[in-house]
Amino acid sequence: MNDQKEKIIIGFDMDGVIVNNTQPKIRLAKALGFKLLPEQTPSEIISKHLPLLVLRELQRNLYDNIETALTTPLMRGARGVLTAVKKSGFPYFLISRRRIPHIAQGILKKHGLWPYFFDEDNAFFVLEPEDKDVKAAQLGVTHYIDDEVGVISKLNSVKCRFLFDQFNIFSHQPHYTKVTSWAEVKKRLFG
């Protein structure tokens, strides 16, 4: 009786995975007088290129201002893979650290992802990286995709961790598998 499919329960981060903040960050930085290159925009890199106060202002605009938030595009390929995930029947969840859930939902709604892929039942908003691990453990998540090494490193309950590294700038580490595109996510999930 070993023909049962491996049980997969998938968790997704939102920012830097499902939505692509690269261009909004470049635009907002420019408005504040700073030039950023795309590969300087990932959350764990950007602080090296902007003074703290400028970064805080950029983040306030990006995450808490509904008008700006709604200009955020999806990551290329996300919708197609989400469609495949939904079709596969594998349970899947969104676990995000967005502080204002209705703005996150607004972005997903604008792109047709809410409530088609995500809704009140499978989307969770938490505060700290550790809280992501608690939620992932509660949900039994086996595969989680996040764009921050600092978050991935806290997800001790998750067997298969994937670092979404769209600019291919982070190093390989034993506790995660690096993926650089949604096409690669698909390959990892479905072979």
Q: How far is the CB of 119 from Mg ion (least distance, A)?
A: 20
d(Cα 9, Cα 140) in Å, to the nearest integer?
A: 7
Is the CB of 88 or the CB of 122 nearer to Mg ion? 122
Question: What's the burial of 157, exposed, middle or buried (CB within 10 Å: 0-12/13-18/19+)?
Answer: middle
Subset of 126-165 contacting Mg ion (CB under 5 A): 147
Interface with Mg ion (CB under 5 A), residue from 8, 12, 13, 133: 13
- Closest to Mg ion by CB, 15 vs 133, is 15
The torsion region of residue 132 among left (phi > 0), alpha (psi -120 to 50) and beta comes to alpha
- CA–CA separation, 28 vs 30, rounded Å? 5
Segment lying near Mg ion (by CB under 5 A), choices 16-24, 28-36, 69-77, 174-182: 16-24
Binding residues for Mg ion, rule CB under 5 A, total: 4
Q: Does 16 bind Mg ion (CB under 5 A)?
A: yes
**Tokens for 49?**
């290129």
Q: At what angle do helices 52-64 and 22-31 cross, to 10 degrees?
A: 130
Do the Cβ atoms of 167 and 36 come closer than 8 Å?
Answer: no
Nearer to Mg ion, 16 or 24 (CB): 16
* Identified binder of Mg ion from the candidate list 11, 15, 41, 74, rule CB under 5 A: 15
Of 61 and 98, which CB lies nearer to Mg ion in the complex structure? 98
Where along the sequence are the contacts to Mg ion (CB under 5 A)? 13, 15-16, 147
